[in-house]
Structure 1
């Protein structure tokens, strides 16, 4: 499997493109602000065609470009039902203090939206994605896990959104956030994974479950 990623927009939100080796179809994870030009370059350079958008949660910096991308290619967006309302009302997820910078902007849902539920196993572009509901950062945050073959054998990769970062955890002070619930989600959905699991977060660099288990000050 190929995993390509880049930080997008003023929030530097990691947008990922995943595809099976030698295949044209791909999945886009968290297309944030200003992600479309870079995505089009990735599609052209690697001869890829997106078949779905997966959103780890509904915050504006992760879903900003979902609607134009989905509607341009006629593809669905996958999001947990608890966060779906943010697709058309992003201010509800960031609160009045932060919503001023999108005042006057209009956001609408993609033409096709599909719900993610805890425990779902969904195959997209020939890639099996296993989802777990991980509330705390938002009510509808999810993590998505898949497996890749390496020279050392199979290895899990988890897209953690804003639940877990390298050396940090997601904020819980925005509407729908809950600090205690966030830590429970990390414990129950992420720290149960093997230490060698690669974590690709919504912001910042990659890490592993083992490294965060041993060094992340928020998890002690």
Structure 2
């Protein structure tokens, strides 16, 4: 399996391309700000053919380039219905400071073809089987994507739900600390320790490493929801 990842834009959100191998169809995960050129370069370098773009949530740093990429290649975009409105109203989901940074103006529109994601749906794309888990907390429509490799590995594209040493912030419009705690407890901590986590920002990690060292996860397996209030959160 081929996974190509790189940070994009002012907020350095991670974009990923996943495929069975070089010269194969691929899925684009979270094509954010300034991602179009980097995606095109990776596609050429590895001989890939994009078939879809899938979005972990609707914040613009993860989906700003989805429309030019999807419409340019005639491919669909997948997003949870609870975040779909952010594709055409990106400032709706950000803080006032972030909005001010961009001058209060940030124009986007939906791609021509948008397909809505459902919890526990299994997407058959590019010869890959991708499981969708609805993980509200950072936004109402946040999801993660799980995919097994032919070599026996497990991958989790975590968006802004889980990071190395942190979790997504819950103080933005649509965020909810209790929903985040529930998502982490029921959808993240249930995964195998050897699952490789490819987050929306920052370096890769594993479920086992985060289970043992991430302060935000402490106590969640026992049902506590207080640990998500500790320390600095990440995300837009």
1:49 to partner: Cα distance: 1.4
Write out aligned runs for 1:68-87 (5 A): 68-87=68-87
Q: TM-score w.r.t. structure 1 length?
A: 0.96
- Distance, in Å, in 1 between the alignment partners of 2:200 and 2:62 is 8
- Distance, in Å, in 2 between the alignment partners of 1:102 and 1:54 is 28
1:23 to partner: Cα distance: 4.4
Q: 1:188 to 1:102 in 2, by over 3 A?
A: farther
Contact 2:99 2:105 in 1 (8 A): no
Q: TM-score w.r.t. structure 2 length?
A: 0.89
- Distance, in Å, in 2 between the alignment partners of 1:155 and 1:34 is 30
Does 1:158 pair with 2:151?
no
Runs of 5+ consecutive residues of structure 1 not aligned to the other structure:
none
1:106 to partner: Cα distance: 2.3
- The CA RMSD measured in Å over matched residues stands at 1.1
SS of equivalent to 1:149:
coil
Equivalent residue, structure 1, for 2:175: 177
Equivalent residue, structure 1, for 2:186: 188
Write out aligned runs for 1:33-72 (5 A): 33-72=33-72
- Distance, in Å, in 1 between the alignment partners of 2:195 and 2:24 is 26
Does 1:140 pair with 2:138?
no
Equivalent residue, structure 2, for 1:110: 111
Question: 1 or 2, which has the higher strand percentage?
Answer: 1
Runs of 5+ consecutive residues of structure 2 not aligned to the other structure:
219-236
Equivalent residue, structure 2, for 1:207: 205
Would you say how many aligned residue pairs link Structure 1 and Structure 2? 217
